[in-house]
A = this chain, B = another copy of it.
């Protein structure tokens, strides 16, 4: 995968391919994938080429082969267990989400500081954060979703890292300050919303 930093793009090809496969397609052309992902066809071919993924000239790419190759790049051999911290608005949406399996991951538990949230209403158990180490050890969890309020995000993240978490998908709109070995991926919904509104504004003029 020399030279490509854009993991995101390859992952979006994979998603599109899964859709196409479900629709019964056996072959995919770079321009098909382009339509599905919004990435230019040339760039798609270049990405594949750089990853050592080859198609047939005029014959396109074989869908199963593509998915296999992408799986070699991204697919974790065993299913990856993840946990969710914070069962508020966003958290309870994520705990009910059913799409984890498709990405070969598995939500095994959630955690919340509020005892009232620790019900058996969900398909996975909800604990106090004190149990994180135990769960992380038992299920070999190193990745977590963080959906706690802004003001407690830093402290909570710190605690999580102390207890075995090395990767965080962070919904709180703050930059987490954590040891260098920890990887954070931020999702800032409001920034995305503002971006949208800004760019629409521009066009008005």
Instruction: Mark A residues whose CB is within 8 Å of B.
Output: 7-8, 11-12, 15-16, 19, 35-38, 73-74, 76, 80, 82, 89-90, 92-94, 96-97, 99-100, 102-103, 105, 142-143, 145, 166-169, 173-175, 177, 181, 183, 185, 187-201, 203
List residues of chain B with CB within 8 A of the CB of A198.
Answer: 7, 11, 73-74
Once the chains bind, are B167 and A200 in contact (CB under 8 Å)? yes
Tell me whether B185 and A195 are in contact (CB under 8 A): yes
Contact A203 B181, CB 8 Å, known A99-B190, A191-B8: yes
For residue A183, which residues in chain B have a CB less than 8 angstroms away from its CB? Answer: 196, 199-200, 203
**A11 close to B194 (CB less than 8 A):** yes
Closest Cβ neighbor of A96 among chain B residues: B89
Docked pose: A127 CA to B100 CA in angstroms: 30
Contact B174 A19 (CB under 8 A): yes
Q: CB distance A169 to B193 under 8 Å?
A: yes
A-B contact pairs, 12 of them (CB 8 A): A7-B198, A8-B195, A11-B191, A11-B198, A15-B173, A16-B175, A35-B175, A99-B173, A100-B190, A103-B193, A169-B192, A181-B203
Residue of B37, B74, B96, B177 touching A194 (CB-CB under 8 A) = B74
**Do A89 and B97 contact each other (CB < 8 Å), given the known contacts A36-B175, A185-B192?**
yes
Known pairs A36-B175, A96-B89; A195 contacts B76 (CB<8 A): no
In the docked arrangement, what's the CA distance between A93 and B90, Å?
5
B36 near A76 (CB under 8 angstroms)? no
Residues of chain B within 8 A of A145, CB atoms compared:
193
